Amino acid sequence: MLSRVKIKVCGMKDTVNIREVAALHPDYMGFIFYDKSPRYVGSEFVLSEDISSSIKRVGVFVNHTKAFIKETLVRHQLNYVQLHGDESVEFCEELKSEGIRVIKVFRVDGDFEFNITKQFERVADFFLFDTKGKLYGGNAMPFDWSLLRRYNQAVPFFLSGGIQLENIAELAGLSSLNIHAIDVNSGVEDQPGKKNINKLSAIINQLSI
């Protein structure tokens, strides 16, 4: 089961580390354009042109304007925008209508109502379920993955929140669900924005089983 799950490495910002991670050929790489995040890429960020086109580029945004998102998408040649804030259905629809591929994030805890996702089904290419915490993301802890069985599985999803080598095998229990990819970040870091290549390699190897 694990071999069909793709991998997204998020929170990248260091040029050298980006190249190191790219050499492992993840399916997606995420870059955070939210300036309150410790993994914010910074205003002078330039994404190297030698990153393989097979790695899909995802820009992470939190309650940004449509103009900022569109400008950033063009500048960095992003393949997807990940909306991690409180964006409305109408906002997602406006982006989608312009040919922009959308990943809509939902922050999950025991009280989360999965029915909320239904209104976004027609305006998102993927959903992403992350742990609800004090921050919009990067809370470094998983939620109870069994809650995902309450989701109707209509839209394929990314799973995020505290994923690391120690709990990767638990993904086997989600084999009947519409999981598209895992999103790793803090669980493979030496420091915010700096991924440990050995830890990341081990996860990728585990996914290939």
Mark whether 10 is an active-site residue. yes
Q: Average pLDDT of 6-29?
A: 96
pLDDT winner (highest mean) among 2-6, 17-21, 160-164: 17-21
User: Is residue 36 helix, strand or coil?
Assistant: coil
Distance, CA of 197 to CA of 116 (rounded, Å): 37
Does 36 score more than 70 pLDDT? yes
At 163, the amino acid letter reads: I
Helix (H) or strand (E) holding 4: none
The catalytic residue among 10, 27, 183, 190 is 10
> What is the overall mean pLDDT for the chain?
93
pLDDT of 205 higher than 70: yes
Q: Is the pLDDT of residue 137 over 70?
A: no
pLDDT digits (tens, 9 = 90+) for 168-195: 988 888 989 999 999 999 899 999 999 9
The overall pTM is greater than 0.85: yes
CA distances from 24 to 45, 51, 56, 123, 155 (A): 22, 11, 13, 31, 27
92 given a catalytic annotation:
no
Residue 136: per-residue pLDDT: 53
Q: Exactly one of 27, 125, 130, 190 is catalytic; which is it? A: 130
Q: Which pLDDT score, from 0 to 100, does residue 135 have?
A: 59
